[in-house]
Amino acid sequence: MEGKHKKSSSASPETDLLCAKGHPDIGKVWQNVLQEAERVAATEHRLVSLMEDVFLSRASFHEAISARLARKLAREDMTRGELFPLLEEILAAHPELALSMASDMIAIKDRDPACTSMIQPLLFYKGFLAISTYRLSHQLWENSRCDLALYFQSLSSEVFGVDVHPAARLGSGIFLDHATSVVMGETTIVEDNVSILHEVTLGGTGKESGDRHPIVRSGVLIGAGAKILGRVEIGKGAKIGAGSVVLNDVAPHKTVAGVPAVVVGESTSENPAQAMDQSLICSGL
């Protein structure tokens, strides 16, 4: 969260949830979540029914994701009873989506000092739930079910205050911290392992068509309220200061700040997204 960051390290408790190739081990993630659900049910009786419905009565990680999102997104337009089998069907057919969601959960636990267990993103982090909804809508978009994809985009904007076009392309290990008022346009590209704070816009500059939204490379940290406009490229390991307006490319491992943004120094970490250090000490500010 703001004002705090975790020190970057080569190892963390979350590495136990990865397989040999560095991808999430879904079985281990699921067992971790189940253990946490049992703990919550044993210590907070008001949440027992929630734990039972979302986790303890489910047979798999993707079932739990489907159950949680169905509870959050249900409306008169589409009930929980209609949403759950739809979401479960998508996740069962595309197991890579659950892998990306697990990567997002691990990223949150690793980077956010306020997150103390793997179950918390699933329960309480609207940034995680919004990105999970995006991942489902993107799959629908790729399958030419564009109207349903846009329906989920609209729901995510309404429920979570996060507006990501289903055609945008996002990698894994994405952390939306606080998440309120994050906007990503249709041709946005965000690579793996990126951290983005609230009120960030990855937008266009006008009504031109084609590729008109930013490309954000891996390891980037984008501070609260930053606006990155047009088909600009934010290089690997760069850091964007809070409140900045970025109109030009940013070289890898540079820190920019201001309106319009200018280079103020080198990134203080090889991987700002993981370090979550939002200070501008590189420039003496």
HEC sequence for 114-157? CCCCCHHHHHHCHHHHHHHHHHHHHHHHHCCCHHHHHHHHHHHH
Instruction: List pLDDT tens digits, range 83-107.
Output: 999 999 999 999 999 999 999 999 9
Q: Is residue 42 part of a domain?
A: yes
Instruction: Clarify whether residues 32 and 102 are in a common domain.
Output: yes
| Domain-embedded: residue 171 | no
CATH number at residue 126: 1.10.3130.10
Q: How far apart are CA 168 and CA 135, in angstroms?
A: 10
pLDDT in tens, 21-80: 568 999 999 999 999 999 999 999 999 999 999 999 999 999 999 999 999 999 999 999
256 and 187 fall within a common domain: yes
Residue 111: which pLDDT band, with cuts at 50, 70 and 90?
very high
pLDDT, residue 2, reads 43
- Average pLDDT of every residue of the chain: 92
* Residue 41 sits in the same domain as residue 123: yes
Same domain? 90 vs 192: no
* Amino acid residing at 169: R
Query: Each residue of 239-283: pLDDT tens digit?
Result: 999 999 999 999 999 999 999 999 999 988 889 999 998 888 654
The mean per-residue pLDDT over the stretch 225-244 comes to: 98
In the predicted model, is pLDDT for residue 165 greater than 80?
yes
Indicate whether 211 and 157 sit together in one domain.
no
Same domain, 225 and 255: yes
Query: Residue 75: how many CB atoms within 10 A of its CB?
Result: 12
Q: Which domain holds residue 145?
A: 1-161
Domain match, 246 and 136 both:
no
* pLDDT category of residue 16 using cuts at 50, 70 and 90: confident
Q: In whole angstroms, give the CA distance from residue 62 to residue 172.
A: 16
pLDDT band with cut points at 50, 70 and 90 for residue 13? low
Q: How many CA atoms lie within 13 A of 114 on its CB side?
A: 10
User: What integer pLDDT is reported at residue 22 of this predicted model?
Assistant: 65
Tell me: the pLDDT tens digits for 166-212? Answer: 999 999 999 999 999 999 999 999 999 999 999 999 999 887 789 99
pTM equals: 0.91
**Of 132, 161, 190, which residue constitutes the final position of a domain?**
161
Enter the tokens of residue 82: 């209609």
Same domain (yes/no): 152, 275:
no
Handedness of CA 86, 92, 94, 100 (dihedral sign): positive
Q: Quick one: 228 and 192 in the same domain? A: yes
Residue 175 falls inside a structural domain? no
Record the tokens describing residue 229, joined without a space: 């406009």
Confidence class for position 3, pLDDT limits 50, 70, 90: very low
Model pLDDT, residue 205: 87
Given 161, 196, 220, the domain boundary residue is 161
Query: How many domains does the chain contain in total?
Result: 2
In this structure, which long-range contacts are made by residues 201-206, counting pairs with CB atoms below 8 Å and at least 24 apart in sequence? Answer: 201/226, 201/227, 201/228, 201/229, 202/228, 203/227, 203/228, 203/229, 204/229, 204/230, 205/229, 205/230, 205/247
The answer to whether residues 156 and 236 belong to one domain is no
pLDDT at 82: 98
pLDDT score, position 208: 77
- Average pLDDT for residues 118-126, to the nearest whole number? 97
Cα gap 272→234, rounded to integer Å: 13
Q: Is residue 61 part of a domain?
A: yes
pLDDT of residue 21: 55
CATH number for the domain including 230? Answer: 2.160.10.10
Is the Cβ–Cβ distance between 256 and 231 less than 8 Å? no
Give yes or no: residues 254 and 219 share one domain. yes
Provide the pLDDT for residue 14: 60
Task: Say if residue 20 is in the same domain as residue 145.
Answer: yes
